[in-house]
């Protein structure tokens, strides 16, 4: 699921969708040597650093958000995968990242090239640290142009890269909407129905969300450890 990993002395490229090899971890040397980005290179001050990002699902009320710590050198393709895990989505739709240019006159877009007539830059060639260089820098992630999920990502702070697992979820709030529910209005409708067992569509929505018999649906549920454990599994 994550694109680039390295052993102690050998760089290995793993194609998206292929399982990561045991004991591998992402490596910043590859990004430095293979970057062809329209943005300034990763700032020296970010070398060896990680970024604490807050990702808010826009238009959600009450707020639905996740806090992630990722290496500054991580490319946007890997950040896409990390966000899919953090919000419980299944990577079944198109996506892109966008950021307004420094002069405020243009919007830079980054994607994996799957969209027809895609004029966006290659997300594999751009690191998170090139978009978020100092606290309060922000950019957006768009996923599923039907449901129109839109995350605003803000750099909260720059931290030393922790030992061990390079990518973590350290906080958040609320259960995330599921794929193909109909956007924010559809999710709000689903939450309303699932609060009323007498509603004629109650069981249909339980089935759609994959809830087991007797499982309680709680729209406030959030567990950072579950996300963190999934990152650990994918990075093994």
Q: What is the DSSP string of 119-175?
A: -SEEGGG-BHHHH--STT-EEEEEE-TTTTEEEEEEEEEEEEPPSS-S-EEEEEESP
Going across the sheet that includes 149-160, the strands are 121-122, 107-111, 95-100, 138-143, 149-160, 49-57, 65-71, 168-173
Looking at per-residue pLDDT, the higher value among 104 and 132 belongs to 132
* pLDDT for the residue numbered 225: 95
Average pLDDT over residues 140-152: 97
Indicate if the pLDDT at residue 111 is higher than 70.
Answer: yes
pLDDT, position 77: 95
Cα separation of 199 and 205, whole Å?
10
Coil, helix or strand at residue 229: helix
What are the pLDDT digits (tens) for 152-167? 999 999 999 888 888 9
Residue 28 confidence (pLDDT) = 45
Question: Is pLDDT at 20 greater than 80 in this prediction?
Answer: no
Per-residue pLDDT for 221 more than 90? yes
pLDDT band at 37; cut points 50, 70, 90: low
Higher-confidence position of 10 and 123: 123
32 pLDDT above the threshold of 70:
no
For residue 50, pLDDT over 50 is answered with yes
Q: Give SS3 for 202.
A: helix
pLDDT one-digit tens code per residue, 183-193: 999 999 999 99
Residue 38: the pLDDT is 64
Return mean pLDDT, the chain.
84
């Amino acid at each position: 699921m994550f694109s680039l990993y390295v052993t102690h002395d050998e760089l290995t490229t793993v194609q998206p969708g292929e399982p990561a090899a045991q004991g591998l971890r992402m490596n910043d040397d590859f990004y430095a040597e293979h970057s062809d980005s329209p943005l300034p290179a990763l700032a020296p001050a970010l070398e060896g650093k990680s970024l604490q990002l807050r990702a808010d699902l826009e238009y959600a009320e009450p707020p639905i958000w996740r806090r992630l710590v990722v290496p500054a050198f991580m490319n946007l393709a890997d950040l896409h995968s990390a966000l899919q895990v953090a919000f419980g989505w299944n990577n079944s739709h198109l996506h892109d990242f966008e950021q307004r240019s420094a002069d405020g006159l243009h919007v830079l877009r980054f994607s994996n090239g799957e969209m027809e007539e895609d004029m966006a830059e290659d997300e594999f060639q751009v690191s998170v640290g090139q978009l978020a260089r100092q606290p309060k820098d922000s950019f957006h992630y768009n996923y599923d142009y039907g449901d129109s999920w839109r995350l605003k990502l803000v750099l909260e702070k720059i931290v030393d890269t922790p030992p061990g697992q390079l990518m973590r979820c350290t906080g958040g709030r609320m259960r995330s909407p599921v794929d193909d529910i109909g956007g924010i209005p559809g999710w709000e409708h689903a939450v309303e129905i699932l609060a009323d067992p007498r509603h004629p569509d109650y069981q249909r929505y339980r089935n759609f969300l994959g809830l087991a018999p007797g499982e309680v649906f709680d729209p406030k549920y959030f567990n950072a450890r579950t996300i963190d454990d999934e990152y650990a599994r994918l990075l093994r």
